């Protein structure tokens, strides 16, 4: 009977993890996260900047098609919305964007459009993550002239 008791005690002590074992595993996971996170998060910002640049190029192609049809780019007042709805122009043959909506930039803000532009026939830009002119990294402006 005593040997059965010992066997039972040995088995019952091995049924779960100890607090120390759990803390060691959590510490290892935290160390791995601390090493991986700094390498992953900057790439997320670069991805949003690249997406904004791609959208600006897409808008540029749509604006060029608008100009081919109408003979001019939309005015600042007509804005990018003229790519999806006719602003009252006779030769308009749009919509010039597939989804018939002007998407916001990757940070959820509206793109800026100006015609005539300071850097070309028109200027098209996003102020980046911070929503203000200038900045570095993800806060840097994304433009059609750079």
Report CA-CA distances (Å) from 100 to 9, 17, 95, 124: 71, 57, 6, 19
pLDDT value at 79 more than 90 = yes
Measured between alpha carbons, how far is 65 from 59 in angstroms, rounded to an integer? Answer: 10
Domain CATH number, residue 33: 3.30.700.10
Query: Measured in Å, how far apart are the chain's first and last C-alpha atoms?
Result: 85
122: containing domain? 2-143
Q: Model confidence at 136, in pLDDT bands (50, 70, 90)?
A: confident
pLDDT confidence of residue 34: 83
Number of domains in the chain: 1
Measure the CA–CA gap between 84 and 88, rounded to whole angstroms: 12
Q: Do the Cβ atoms of 70 and 92 come closer than 8 Å?
A: yes
The structure's pTM equals 0.68
Mean pLDDT value across residues 43-72: 89
The phi-psi region of residue 4 (left if phi > 0; otherwise alpha if psi is between -120 and 50; otherwise beta) is alpha
What is the token pair recorded at 9? 């005690």
The whole-number average pLDDT for the span 64-71 is 95
Task: Please report the pLDDT score of residue 40 as a whole number.
Answer: 65
Coil vs helix vs strand at 60: helix
């Amino acid at each position: 009977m005593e040997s059965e008791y010992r066997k039972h005690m040995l088995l019952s002590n091995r049924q779960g993890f100890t607090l120390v074992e759990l803390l060691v595993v959590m510490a290892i996971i935290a160390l791995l996260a601390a090493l991986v996170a700094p390498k992953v998060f900057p790439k997320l910002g670069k991805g949003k900047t690249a997406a904004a640049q791609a959208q600006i190029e897409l808008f540029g192609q749509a604006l060029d098609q608008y100009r081919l049809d109408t003979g001019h780019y939309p005015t600042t007042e007509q804005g990018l919305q003229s790519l999806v709805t006719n602003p009252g122009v006779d030769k308009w043959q749009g919509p010039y964007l597939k989804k018939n909506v002007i998407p916001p930039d990757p940070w959820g803000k509206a793109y800026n459009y100006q015609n005539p532009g300071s850097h070309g026939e028109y200027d098209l830009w996003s102020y980046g993550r911070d929503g203000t002119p200038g900045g570095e990294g993800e806060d840097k402006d994304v433009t059609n002239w750079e």
